[in-house]
Amino acid sequence: MAQAATGWAQADGGEPGRSGPRPRRPHLPGLGRWGRDRRGRTAWQRGWVIALLAVATTLLMAFHAEVPNRVGNLGSLLETFLPWIGLAVPALLLCALLRRSATALVALLLPALLWADLFGGLLSDRSGPGGDLTVLSHNVNAENPDPAATARDLIASRADVVALEELTATALPVYEKELAAAYPYRTVKGTVALWSRYPITGARAVDIKIGWTRALRAEVDTPNGALAVYVAHLPSVRVKFDAGFTADQRDNSAEALGEAIVAEPLERVVLLGDLNGTMNDRSLANITSQMRSAQGAAGDGVGFTWPASFPLTRIDQIMTKGVTPISSWVLPATGSDHLPVAARVEL
């Protein structure tokens, strides 16, 4: 009888001497069975489409500058949102796991490592202590419902120099009234303006080839010497089905602004403004080739600024030439569709 009982236990899938079925191991559908599939393919023989998509993602990030702008400015559009291409990696990773493809998993190392090399540093805090001057830039939005509250938020930042873009004739007196006590010096040119705790001289409009004034240049007499400050609001860009990325006017303005900065006689220069473009965008090369991004050098995180409700890209810039960025950050939302940006610099 003992032998019979043992035999029954074994027949039921249990261990000798024990009755009842053997417990089954937990199984996640789609994630197990990495052997051959129904067509006899191994984990190395399937998933080639996913692997090719991983390679294509890598090539797109590595050679984004080769994507032509001749058709709808596709190259600039790609470079505006370039970091977001990295979202293809987790999407393809999920596909590779469901497909149980070792080939796809290995191929995914290429875009993952390249993205980490290109943009991984933006996830860290690169800021440091110290600095001589705090500068701030904000596109306040022509449709801002409460410019007085926005002005008070900017004063709370304790910045030394404040640049505003997209000012309207209606809102300008409000900003002048609210900012007067904290910033006794100001200059306004068209729809851009500069407020400062220190004297401003040599203020003039800068022609960026759009027919009206959206850029200025001034000297700020800081305790550490003269600083040339440019404030600019480059033309807006749009994505249209019939025309693509409409950035030609912005590109022409960027060229003109870059030429003005090249001709600047002072060695220490800061550019504040809404450039409607990112540091990756080749069309801003006339500016980015001679200046460094405060966010890229000393930022805390990715620093996206637009749209304020769910920032997808950084088009509001603080850039320096002959000046060292120490720290850079994005301020909380105001009544604008852009987030303010600030930086501490060493003169």
Position 220 pLDDT exceeds 80: yes
Query: What pLDDT is stored for residue 247 in this prediction?
Result: 80
Q: How far apart are CA 134 and CA 288, in angstroms?
A: 21
pLDDT top residue among 7 and 232: 232
Element (H, E) at 52: helix 48-62
Query: What pLDDT is stored for residue 293 in this prediction?
Result: 97
The torsion defined by the Cα of 63, 68, 71 and 77, in degrees rounded to 10, comes to 50
Full strand arrangement of the beta sheet holding 192-196: 185-189, 192-196, 161-165, 133-139, 341-346, 324-330
Mean pLDDT within 189-216: 97
- Looking at 68-72, 141-145, 229-233, 316-320, which range is the least confident one? 68-72
- Each residue's pLDDT tens digit, 133-148: 999 999 999 999 999 9
Tell me, what DSSP letter sits at residue 27?
Answer: -
- Each residue's pLDDT tens digit, 108-138: 999 999 999 999 998 999 999 999 999 999 9
- Looking at 4-13, 24-33, 248-257, 297-306, which range is the least confident one? 4-13
**pLDDT band with cut points at 50, 70 and 90 for residue 40:** confident
- Each residue's pLDDT tens digit, 325-342: 999 999 999 999 999 999
Query: What pLDDT is stored for residue 21 in this prediction?
Result: 57
Q: Domain 133-346: state its class.
A: alpha beta
Query: What pLDDT is stored for residue 246 in this prediction?
Result: 66
- Looking at 3-12, 246-255, 278-287, 332-341, which range is the least confident one? 3-12
119 neighbors 79 (Cβ within 8 angstroms): no
Please report how many Cα atoms fall inside a 13 Å half-sphere around the Cα of residue 120, on the Cβ side.
7
Q: How far apart are CA 230 and CA 213, in angstroms?
A: 13
312 neighbors 233 (Cβ within 8 angstroms): no
Q: Which two tokens stand for residue 134?
A: 């705090």
**pLDDT band with cut points at 50, 70 and 90 for residue 248:** confident
Global confidence as pTM: 0.85
**pLDDT band with cut points at 50, 70 and 90 for residue 5:** very low
**pLDDT band with cut points at 50, 70 and 90 for residue 288:** very high
- Burial per residue of 258-287, b for 16 or more beta-carbon CB atoms within 10 angstroms, e otherwise: bebbeeeeeebbbbbbbbbbbbbbebbebb
Burial of 251 (0-12, 13-18, 19+ CB in 10 A): buried
- Whole-angstrom CA distances from 231 to 62, 77, 273 are 32, 24, 5
Question: E-assigned strands of the chain?
Answer: 133-139, 161-165, 185-189, 192-196, 200-205, 215-222, 225-233, 238-240, 244-246, 269-274, 292-293, 316-321, 324-330, 341-346
Helix (H, G, I), strand (E, B) or coil at 229: strand
Position 272 pLDDT exceeds 80: yes
- Each residue's pLDDT tens digit, 313-328: 999 999 999 999 999 9
Position 183 pLDDT exceeds 70: yes
- Each residue's pLDDT tens digit, 203-213: 999 999 999 99
What's the alpha-carbon Rg for the chain, to the nearest Å?
28
Q: How far apart are CA 232 and CA 206, in angstroms?
A: 9
**Number of other CB atoms surrounding residue 117 within 10 Å:** 11
Q: How far apart are CA 273 and CA 288, in angstroms?
A: 13
In the chain, what are the domain boundaries? 48-123, 133-346
Burial of 63 (0-12, 13-18, 19+ CB in 10 A): exposed
Q: How far apart are CA 206 and CA 231, in angstroms?
A: 9
Position 24 pLDDT exceeds 50: yes
Q: Which two tokens stand for residue 149?
A: 């509250």
The answer for 181, left when phi > 0, alpha when psi is -120 to 50, beta otherwise, is: alpha
Average of per-residue pLDDT values in the chain:
90
Helix (H, G, I), strand (E, B) or coil at 112: helix
**pLDDT band with cut points at 50, 70 and 90 for residue 6:** very low
**Number of other CB atoms surrounding residue 346 within 10 Å:** 15
Position 240 pLDDT exceeds 70: no
Look at strands 316-321 and 185-189 and give their pairing: unpaired
Mean pLDDT within 144-154: 98
Position 282 pLDDT exceeds 70: yes
Q: How far apart are CA 102 and CA 313, in angstroms?
A: 34
Burial of 30 (0-12, 13-18, 19+ CB in 10 A): exposed
Query: What pLDDT is stored for residue 244 in this prediction?
Result: 53
